[in-house]
Structure 1
Amino acid sequence: MIQGKSVLAIIPARGGSKGIPRKNIIEVGGKPLLSWTIEEAKKSAYIDRLIVSTDDEEIADVARQYEGEVPFLRPKELAMDDTPGIAPVLHALELLPKYDYVVLLQPTSPLRQVIDIDGCIEKCLKEQANSCVSITVAEKTPYWMYHLSDNDVLEPVIKIEERFLRRQDTPTVFSLNGAVYIADTNWLQKTQSFLEPETVGYVMPKERSIDIDNQMDIVIFEAVLRQMKN
């Protein structure tokens, strides 16, 4: 609880995955991917209840091994490849009402720390915002990105009168890192999106913003993890 407001945290972990089969429970850094998020979220000073939303019995068992609560199994129709990411959150809020804020923690961000979780929650309330999401400095600047026309002519994604010749001269831009999303529950149920014009951003460092999507991401994750331990 924070400032008298109750907080529900949801870790979505469906059984299907095209990029990496059984991604949410594969072993990375010596333990299941899902466990990294469970263990860090349980350190939070503000989360009142932490649940794992899954459609898969094996994933549910792994979650429980790491003291993650699985109060229900998500319907299969809410765990398809084309299921919107907000769907399991809204489903959980229907079954577990009366929380003031909801936090979404994707298991594919294993290096996110409790300082990021609680920092994002704190910023949301400090700014009196309806939602706050974690971001990090973008690896590539959109000022050097182009569309390719039908006749293969380069068309700038961002059209400006004067070109930037050096990267350090380009404006700093940020991208979503998928690590932490928080929103007022009533507002979220109305908008059905964490990302609206009034959403504020919480900046996370690059080394804690790794998002596991393919095998190369696992290699990078374990390399960063070794470096952090050293």
Structure 2
Amino acid sequence: MNDVIAIIPARSGSKSIPDKNIALLAGYPLIAFSIIAAKLSKKIQRVIVSTDSSEYAEIARSYGAETPFIRPKEYARDESTDRAFLLHAINWFEENEAKCPEYWVHLRPTTPLRVPSLIDQAVEALMDCQQATSLRSAHKAPESPLKWFSKSEDGFFNGLMPKTFGVEGFNLPKEQFEDIFIPDGYIDVIKKSHILNSQSIHGRNILAFESPVCSEVDSKEEFEYIEFQIQKHGSEILEYLKANY
């Protein structure tokens, strides 16, 4: 059996959208989409929600997740890091369970539109790459940021790329730039052995996983856009929710 667990962080107290992680998307709490994505994965055995809220925990359990602990408030502040809640969860398992899984699939509720089979592909990729310290997803940027500008204090734009042979870098065709990838919340896979023996989450050898372009909920407008995407393209996860909840 694979040594894989999903962890979904869902702290309360969002400022951009009140109670964002349980806000209704197409009639279901936002967190439910990540829980079901993990449940539909063939590689993940258990789905854990790390939350500081008993209300959120009850909702998570109603969709099939486990909430074996309530996250302490010091790990659920605006300035709290991902490493803090991950370490708390891993240490809890080390102290309270017979076995602590090696592979932790980090699924953010704010990226609700996933394809479960891609989660499995990502987990397999990390398992097959012994030198990798973690895996992160990212999608291809539409153009290189080297074509962008900074702005000086006196109001003038400056190209980020130095001139090459007298040519302004921001005017070069995009085909002359290497592909750049934007990190997203589609999937991270963390190794317990790495995070417990270092001061980082991902380490130096982050295995690249190219995800589909995906939208993330950080504002009301983005939430509305994701609702539009579901209405237009549908969702495997939404269909499962409709059929089972």
Calculate the TM-score normalised by the size of structure 2: 0.85
Q: Is the 8 A contact 1:144 1:156 kept in 2?
A: yes
> What is the letter of the counterpart of residue 23 of structure 1?
K
Q: Is the 8 A contact 2:133 2:203 kept in 1?
A: no
Residue 181 of structure 2: aligned partner: 174
Residue 25 of structure 1: aligned partner: 22
What does the per-residue CA deviation read over 1:166-215, in whole Å, with 9 as the maximum and x for residues that have no partner?
A: 33443221011112111221112233433433101101111xx2111111
Distance across 2 between alignment mates of 1:187 and 1:172: 29
Alignment equivalent of 1:214, drawn from 210, 214, 219? 219
Deviation at 1:140, TM superposition (A): 4.8
Select between 210-219 and 191-200 the one with higher mean Cα deviation.
191-200
Distance across 2 between alignment mates of 1:158 and 1:24: 39
RMSD: 1.8
Deviation at 1:7, TM superposition (A): 1.3
Residue 150 of structure 1: aligned partner: 153
Alignment equivalent of 2:87, drawn from 75, 85, 90? 90
Kindly report which structure 2 residues correspond to 1:1-230, keeping only aligned pairs within 5 A, or say none.
1-2=1-2, 6-97=3-94, 98-128=100-130, 129-159=132-162, 161=164, 162=167, 163=169, 164-206=171-213, 209-229=214-234
Select between 109-118 and 71-80 the one with higher mean Cα deviation.
109-118
Number of aligned residue pairs: give it.
Answer: 225
Q: Is the 8 A contact 2:194 2:203 kept in 1?
A: no
Q: Is the 8 A contact 1:136 1:205 kept in 2?
A: yes
Q: Is the 8 A contact 1:181 1:194 kept in 2?
A: no
Q: Is the 8 A contact 1:131 1:199 kept in 2?
A: yes
Q: Is the 8 A contact 2:136 2:183 kept in 1?
A: yes
Q: Is the 8 A contact 2:52 2:70 kept in 1?
A: yes
Instruction: Give SS of 1:45's match.
Output: coil
Q: Is the 8 A contact 1:90 1:192 kept in 2?
A: no
Instruction: Give SS of 1:61's match.
Output: helix
Give % identity. 33
Instruction: Give SS of 1:180's match.
Output: strand
> What is the letter of the counterpart of residue 26 of structure 1?
A
| Structure 2 unmatched runs, 5+ | 95-99, 236-245
Q: Is the 8 A contact 1:132 1:194 kept in 2?
A: no
CA radius of gyration, larger in = 2
Distance across 2 between alignment mates of 1:11 and 1:169: 39
